[in-house]
Chains A and B, each alone.
Chain A
């Protein structure tokens, strides 16, 4: 399932919807799995009355984790070499997120073929919530 250099070109894209109408329950699931129990993500009373946000909001790492699904579906299992992101906007319950990877460069490094990707995740208003890059091992 790995990508092939011979079938890839700069500008190729892969787009995937990550979540539709994000539920607060998923934020609870992520808190439990990751161990990050910051109440800003799961405790509506704290988030609105103490921290003064409109509601709880997603862990940045949940958005990064959901975006990773698009990447591993695209490049194949165990093929990622690097993955890094900036969190550019908050993700709220009710959001629908879509992630896109774009082929920036195909390169050879120490006898290995690699692809450099840019990665962007947007919400239903087309507002960017995450931006980053990834590098993956590819085949001939």
Chain B
């Protein structure tokens, strides 16, 4: 993802709020929302993560005509690479989500058109008895509105593990 346009749509906010189990009407009812402090349908706090929908190259979405690592006739649509880590079966990014941080300059509203700009952050590694070498990396995404003003800053920390983490 380098620079993607992310239209914040009312129906998308409603389905996202349903998925996280939040019945707050500020996410689904414009008349109700008009009488709240934000005075509009706003996005739930983690909604900007759904900008993945608008990233043409997002790796965790099946694409027409391309191999997909999920099951079909066989348990996986692609051959598993050896030694590529446990997460995601070694497919796609193989990265587990370790941390997520959001800073809200304001809360996005239905009707906003955000532009997401992504840049890599810090990288570090750590030894773990359970999972071998852990390789961490940061990714920072800035969401700006149609006026160019910063709305949300997101910082993701991903980790690639050497071994599949054993289940407790």
Contacts and interface: CB of A to CB of B under 8 A. Distances in A.
Interface string B16-32: 10111110101000000
A47 to B, nearest CB: 8
A19 B20 CA distance: 9
A81 B106 CA distance: 8
B103 A39 contact: no
Contacts, number: 163
A74 interface: no
28 contacts: A26-B21, A29-B19, A30-B20, A32-B15, A33-B50, A34-B52, A38-B88, A49-B75, A50-B91, A52-B89, A52-B164, A59-B97, A60-B96, A60-B100, A62-B19, A62-B20, A65-B22, A68-B45, A69-B20, A69-B24, A72-B24, A72-B44, A73-B24, A82-B103, A86-B98, A87-B96, A87-B97, A127-B168
- Give me the 9 closest cross-chain CB pairs, A-B, nearest first: A84-B101, A39-B70, A65-B20, A51-B89, A35-B52, A35-B53, A78-B38, A45-B71, A49-B75
Interface of A: 1-2, 18-19, 26, 29-30, 32-40, 43, 45-46, 49-54, 59-62, 64-66, 68-69, 71-73, 76-87, 89-90, 127
